[in-house]
Amino acid sequence: MKRTRQIHWENPEPAAKQALKMSGIDYLNAMGAGQLPLPPLLYTLDFKIGELEEGSVSFSFRPQEFHYNPIGTVHGGVISAILDSAMGCSLHTLLEIGKAYTTLELKVNFLKAVTTKTEELKAVGKVVYVGGRTALVEAQLVDEKGQLYAHATSTCMIFKF
């Protein structure tokens, strides 16, 4: 039986331009408050914004069939995407106006299979270190009981725009 899914989102370009004029935490808080649209990726993968504080951000998702790879488990790219989002946004909370970041490298350890039988999962990202030009961040993907499904680290480059 074929399944369908319809996704709607707003144009992300105006919000991206606003980001240039705001601190990272103010920008993310504005999205969380509905004052700026969420990035289309959140709608595409059905991620939800969780807690947001300086140096730490979380996202959650409930594994669905549309997340599956050919062998019937959630694709590693979906897991990597939510971990990368939590890590990047945790760093974004600490950025001043006029600063941005990009991921230089990403390492993910997949520890437990994720399927539609898995309960809601939360990716919790936190900043480990911030220097003048680079930052180290990490995230864990856990279920509601605290069971660890994946762990990631990332090095980010910080730059002025």
Distance CA 52, CA 39 (A): 16
99-156 per-position pLDDT tens digit: 999 999 999 999 999 999 999 999 999 999 999 999 999 999 999 999 999 999 999 9
Domains detected in the chain = 13-160 (3.10.129.10)
Q: How far apart are the first and last CA of the chain?
A: 49
Give the closest residue to 103 by CA, choosing from 41, 153, 156, 159: 156
Calculate what percentage of the chain has a pLDDT beyond 90: 99
> In the chain, what are the helix, strand and coil shares in percent, each to the nearest 5?
25, 35, 35
24-37 per-position pLDDT tens digit: 999 999 999 999 99
Asked whether residue 161 carries a pLDDT value surpassing 90, the answer given is no
As a whole number, mean pLDDT of residues 44-60 equals: 97
59 exposed, middle or buried (CB, 10 Å; 0-12, 13-18, 19+)?
buried
Distance CA 73, CA 67 (A): 8
Calculate what percentage of the chain has a pLDDT beyond 70: 100
